[in-house]
Amino acid sequence: ENRNDDYDVTTQFFANYNKSFGCHDLSAMIGYEDYYAFWENLSASRDQYELTNFPYLDLGPENLRDNGGNAEEYAYRSFFGRITYSYANRYLLQVNFRRDGSSRFAPDSRWANFPSFSAAWNVSEEEFMPKSSILSYLKLRASWGVLGNDRIGYYPYQSTIAFNNGIFYKGNEIVSVTGAALQKYPVKDITWETTESLNFGINLGLFDNRLFITGDYYIKRTNDMLLELEIPDYIGYENPDQNTGKMYTKGFDLEVSWKDRIGDFTYGVSANLSDFRSRMGDLGG
């Protein structure tokens, strides 16, 4: 039998601002999020029942009973914001910023900043672009940003203790003794794994946008990857998690679609093609 107590509490606040004046459009958003998760488990069991169709704990043999319990706890907090600006639907700019803190890391290494920027040029809105049913839409895009990853167990910066039972002889009697030992070597300053991305894109509409092409080329670099590094066995610890790895990725995404109408019948077809290559960099030995 298992009894679980599991709950997640999320608190969010948002504030939005929008303003248009002449050819200018401006919008802004700021936000806050607090997340807390708690999970607790209690279990009990017995084995080799005489009445297998009545499996309640009181009917099982007392010498074959067992129980257990554990809990997990995790929290993070985020402050974030975004500003979007557009001029005549021709020049587009967006700035994002996040400040995230995770309970998985020590207080001195808990917080990190993650900015991002993106810009677009709607070339088809320029006066020098001739109106044509062949080239009906053209937008060029570029973006850069950094994101973080903290998915690495719960508290790798702390010295966790593992408990086990050992069987010993005390005279002619067998006794069970509980022992404890440090299980994992802590790395006090372990912190966020970060991925920096650079993206270039194009949106192209042809034949009154019946044929539409979207393409993106991106470069990603992951720093301070959260990896388990090998340490000598004689130290007596499991391999600790550390910020040590690097990875480089290049790739592209391409989508081509066709939409049209024949009388009252509308149809569409699309195809996608993606490819990327990742290369591992320094892995800290």
Indicate the pTM of the whole model. Answer: 0.82
Say what the pLDDT of residue 170 is.
84
Say what the pLDDT of residue 54 is.
84
CB count in 10 Å sphere of residue 87: 15
**Please, are residues 282 and 245 in contact by the beta-carbon 8 Å criterion?**
yes
Say what the pLDDT of residue 75 is.
96
Rounded Cα distance between 198 and 147, Å, is 12
Record the tokens describing residue 217, joined without a space: 């080329």
pLDDT at 254 over 90: yes
pLDDT at 121 over 80: yes
In this structure, of 22-36, 87-101, 130-144, the range with the lowest mean pLDDT score is 130-144
Say what the pLDDT of residue 96 is.
98
pLDDT at 285 over 80: no
Encode 118-128: b = buried (16+ Cβ within 10 Å), e = exposed: bebebbbeeee
Q: What digits encode the pLDDT tens for the residues 258-280?
A: 999 998 999 999 999 999 999 99
Q: What digits encode the pLDDT tens for the residues 42-70?
A: 999 999 888 888 878 888 888 899 999 99
Q: If you count them, how many residues does the chain have?
A: 285
Rounded Cα distance between 261 and 96, Å, is 40
**131 pLDDT tier (thresholds 50, 70, 90):** confident
Mean predicted lDDT score pLDDT of the chain: 93
**195 pLDDT tier (thresholds 50, 70, 90):** very high
pLDDT at 158 over 80: yes
Say what the pLDDT of residue 132 is.
79
Say what the pLDDT of residue 167 is.
86
pLDDT at 282 over 90: no
Encode 13-36: b = buried (16+ Cβ within 10 Å), e = exposed: eeeeeeeeeeeebeeeeeeebebe
